[in-house]
Amino acid sequence: MSADLLPVAIPTGQRPAPIAELFYSFQGEGVSLGRRALFVRFLGCNLTCGYAEVPTSHDTPAQGSTLCDTEYTWNSTKHDLSAGVWHLTPQEIWDELLQLDPTTADPSLAQVDLIVVTGGEPLLHKDAVLHLAHQARLTDRCVEIETNATIKPGPDLVAAGVAFNAGLKLASSAVPRKKRIKPDAIMEIEASGRARWKFVVSTLDDLVEIAELQAQFGLTEIWLSPEGTTPERVVEQMRMAAAPALEHGWNLTTREHVLIWGGQRAR
């Protein structure tokens, strides 16, 4: 076979991953609330929040009170998952993120030192996430991974020094417990010492389940995040959760991006 007919080898860890969004904004919730950040949102998720299983049509009714606000990353019955999607290697993702940092155009500005990796479920794309974590470390940036905590991150990712904004899903998501609660993954993330357990709350029953999960798995740093895609709903849910959060020793975050921009994408 002639050399020019040989297949092009893709370097290990540099296979393209599907990207729904890359953007520059504020971290809207949790321990880094209000910090400027560069965001990468991966396509694809292994859960179906709001539904007990994958919807079969665009009018499949939601079965849970806690809905997914990024269905456009996984629900093909409602969204064209191919529209606007980028298929980028990990290094290409990193290069695009650097172009979003305003420091690139104006070195007089402070570098954006936080990378938020989200989805969908970003740990479905571990090679890409690990590459981003290594690049961030080389440039004095921190990485927060927003994960549903059903997939073990693995020792390489833990060793890369990332933080986990681990959002365990509750019964109000309608996802069966055996799919949303994976003890091995939960314990590995907790053992990393860099877990922030972020629970989206929509009902008082959610708060009871959170207390049970905390006791079962020894969860340490807990944050309640109000369910909602409008400012009014976010404030309403924060008021519902505030007193129980103080009683249990939990933290309460708002959703700053919703308060500022409503439900706009890439915000």
Q: Binding site for substrate, residues?
A: 26-28, 41, 118
Classify the C-alpha dihedral 244-33-172-177 as positive or negative.
Answer: negative
- For residue 129, the SS3 value is helix
Residue numbers belonging to the annotated binding site for [4Fe-4S] cluster: 45, 49, 68
The string over 83-100, giving b where at least 16 C-beta atoms fall within 10 Å of a residue's C-beta and e elsewhere, is: eeeeebbbebbbeebeee
Residue numbers belonging to the annotated binding site for S-adenosyl-L-methionine: 120
> What is the phi/psi pair of residue 152, to 5°?
-65, 130
β-strand pairing of 195-201 with 222-226: parallel
Which H or E run contains 42?
Answer: strand 36-42
DSSP 8-state class, residue 32: G
Q: At what angle do helices 204-217 and 231-248 cross, to 10 degrees?
A: 40
Three-class DSSP labels, 169-188: CCHHHCCCHHHHCCHHHHHH
What is the C-alpha separation between 263 and 118, in angstroms, rounded? 16
Task: Count CA atoms closer than 13 A to 179's CA, side-chain side.
Answer: 14
DSSP codes, 189-218: HHHTT-EEEEEEE-SHHHHHHHHHHHHHHT
Residue numbers belonging to the annotated binding site: 26-28, 41, 45, 49, 68, 70, 118, 120
Residue numbers belonging to the annotated binding site for Mg(2+): 70
DSSP 8-state class, residue 166: E
